[in-house]
Amino acid sequence: MSKALFFHAGCPVCVSAEQQFAAALDPARYAVEVVHLGEQKSRIAEAERLGVKSVPALVIDGQPFHINFGAALADLK
């Protein structure tokens, strides 16, 4: 079981669609943790270390994937 991290910032347009995307991952292989960076600013540094440049983003097996374009991490600080 790998951990997949889904970072977002709660933008109303994106949440439902992006959570659908995170929910599409294989539950036999991935435990998905959803992190709202607007509410958990302490985790922005973690996202940056994982290579996340913008949200929404999904990190699978240590590889960041930026989905569409929402907000730059700098805008959340």
Chain residues in the site for a second copy (CB under 8 A): 4, 17-18, 20-21, 24-30, 58, 60-61, 63, 65-69
Q: Which is nearer to a second copy, 31 or 41 (CB)?
A: 31
Burial of 15 (0-12, 13-18, 19+ CB in 10 A): middle
Q: Which is nearer to a second copy, 20 or 42 (CB)?
A: 20
Burial of 17 (0-12, 13-18, 19+ CB in 10 A): exposed
Least Å distance, CB 36 to a second copy, is 19
Least Å distance, CB 72 to a second copy, is 14
Dihedral angle of Cα 3, 54, 49, 76, to the nearest 10 degrees: -110
Q: Which is nearer to a second copy, 28 or 49 (CB)?
A: 28
Least Å distance, CB 52 to a second copy, is 12
Angstrom distance (rounded) from CA 26 to CA 36:
22
